[in-house]
């Protein structure tokens, strides 16, 4: 918001308590995924503790708010620059979204 020819002005989102809780849980999923991906890409070895953390954060998010690719969540996730990557954490199998292979 606030983009002019002189620059841009940051305006933080005004979120109610429920939206803030959802955002915080989403951020824990996103950050855990990014740590896992970066570690395994750089070290070429499995990171079991971070994979477990990702599974826990993801499962908690899904339990409370539904699948990442659920219509109610897609718009929310796409507000984040990493949102498209996060949508790839699920794949379609038999018409249902399930965890992608990185969880295993």
- State the average pLDDT over residues 76-88: 94
- Condensed to tens digits (0 to 9), the pLDDT of residues 25-74 reads 999 999 999 999 999 999 999 999 999 999 999 999 999 999 999 999 99
Q: What SS3 string covers the chain?
A: CCCECCECCCCCCCCCHHHHHHHHHHHHHHHHHHHHHHHHHHHCCCCHHHHHHHHHHHHHHHHHHCCCCCHHHHHHHCCCCCHHHHHCCEEEECCEEEECHHHC
Say what percent of the chain tops pLDDT 90. 84
Residues 60 and 85: their CA atoms lie apart, in Å, by 19
Residue 73, Cβ neighbours under 10 Å: how many?
A: 20
- pTM for this predicted structure: 0.87
């Amino acid at each position: 918001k606030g983009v002019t020819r002189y620059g841009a002005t940051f305006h933080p989102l005004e979120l109610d308590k429920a939206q803030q809780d959802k955002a915080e849980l989403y951020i824990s999923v996103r950050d855990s995924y990014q740590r896992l991906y970066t570690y395994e890409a750089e070290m070429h070895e499995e990171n079991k503790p971070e994979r477990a953390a990702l599974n826990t954060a993801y499962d908690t998010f899904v339990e409370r708010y539904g699948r990442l690719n659920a219509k109610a969540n897609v718009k929310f996730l796409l507000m984040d620059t990493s949102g498209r990557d996060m949508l790839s954490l699920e794949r379609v199998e038999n018409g249902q979204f399930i965890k992608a292979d990185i969880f295993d």
